[in-house]
Amino acid sequence: MMDNVGKETENEVATQEEAVNTPSDSLDNGTEKEVSSGTAPDNSSDNAPEKVTYTPEQQKHINALIAAKVEERNQEREARRLAEQEAEKLRSQLPQAQRPVVPDFPDSLDPNFDAKVEEWKKAQAEAAKYDAEAAQTDARKAEEKKQRQNEQLQNIEKVISTYDKRAKNLGIDPSELTVAGEVMKQAGVNPQLVWHLLNDEKGPALTMHLVKNPIVREEVLSMDPVSAGIYLETKVKPKLAGSNTTTNAPDPAESLNGAGTSASGGLDDIGWEAV
């Protein structure tokens, strides 16, 4: 009899345990059904690049910083221009040395012939001295101008060399970037915008993006340099992050001649006097 009681007790316990476990099992089964039925979140887009977005306040702050930087550069350029203009104005106001007038050789019958000959000799010597000093001044000015041009050229070559290295690091083919430079040049790109592209760490990628997206390019080229720089920094540049290729758009037309010694192509000979 004790055996029967033990068996009944074991059966009751098993029945209770089954009753307790049934809701949990049912919940687990329901969850499995939901997952298998496709209600689980789709992770297929996990590898897609994250889109950079800013709040209006952040965007306003970024725009202000970029505008301030561009404005500072423009002010420095304008200050140099005004200083040179003022210096030229002051030089023009200084009494200008005039070449001594050399009189005609006196008439031998003139009663003051000897004195006038001495005056003539003195005028000749002063005129020769003036000519020599003027020649030295012209040579010095020519040398200073040449030195300024050489310094400017060296600076430009350094910028272009850095631009080419950035293109290589970004995985951009030099020949394609050369063609892109010619496209930008023929599109009438502002020299200040060229300078921005050549100095920007993503400059080559920005150039390729503009060339391969004509609508964006025309929009940027229609802006003033400050607005264009802000647009590139806040709207275009974030799209290039983490990617060696800037776009899947078709390549630019091959009818444009892109021969050149550097990947910058036509970007290296655009009106640098305006920069």
* CA atoms of 47 and 115, how far apart (whole Å): 101
> How far is Cα of residue 114 from the mean position of the Cα atoms in its chain?
74
Answer yes or no: is 268 within a domain: yes
Average pLDDT, the chain: 74
- The confidence score (pLDDT) of residue 258 equals 34
Residue 192 covered by a domain? yes
How far is Cα 93 from Cα 85, in angstroms, rounded to an integer?
A: 13
> Please, is 184 exposed, middle or buried when counting C-beta atoms within 10 Å of its C-beta (0-12, 13-18, 19+)?
buried
Say if 18 falls within a structural domain.
Answer: no
Q: How far apart are CA 172 and CA 87, in angstroms?
A: 45
What does the pLDDT read at residue 7? 46
Of 252, 217, 251, 250, the closest CA to residue 235 belongs to 217
Answer yes or no: is 146 within a domain. Answer: no
Return the structure tokens found at 222.
């229609």
| Contact indicator for 71, 224 with CB cutoff of 8 Å | no
pLDDT in tens, 166-183: 999 999 999 999 999 999
Token pair 């950079």 is found at: 52
What is the domain range of residue 225?
A: 171-274
Give yes or no for residue 219 having a pLDDT over 60.
Answer: yes
**Helix 203-212 and helix 113-169, axial crossing angle in degrees, nearest 10:** 80
How far apart are alpha carbons 117 and 102 in whole angstroms? 11
Work out how many domains the chain is built from and give that number.
1
Please check whether residue 19 lies inside any domain of the structure.
no
Is there a contact between 169 and 210 (Cβ–Cβ < 8 Å)? Answer: no
- Residue 220 located in a structural domain: yes
pTM check: above 0.75: no
Q: Which tokens is 180 given?
A: 């892109």
Cα–Cα dist 29/37, whole Å? 12
Whether 77 maps to a domain, the answer reads no
Does 92 reside within a domain? no
Percent of the chain whose pLDDT exceeds 70: 67
Above 80 in pLDDT, residue 251? no
Burial of 212 (0-12, 13-18, 19+ CB in 10 A): buried
Angstrom CA distances, 121 to 31, 50, 206, 216, 219, stand at 117, 87, 70, 74, 71
What is the structure's pLDDT at 183? 92
69: which 2 tokens?
């930087």
- Per-residue confidence (pLDDT) for residue 96, from 0 to 100: 72
CA distance 48 to 46: 6
pLDDT at residue 220, rounded to an integer: 93
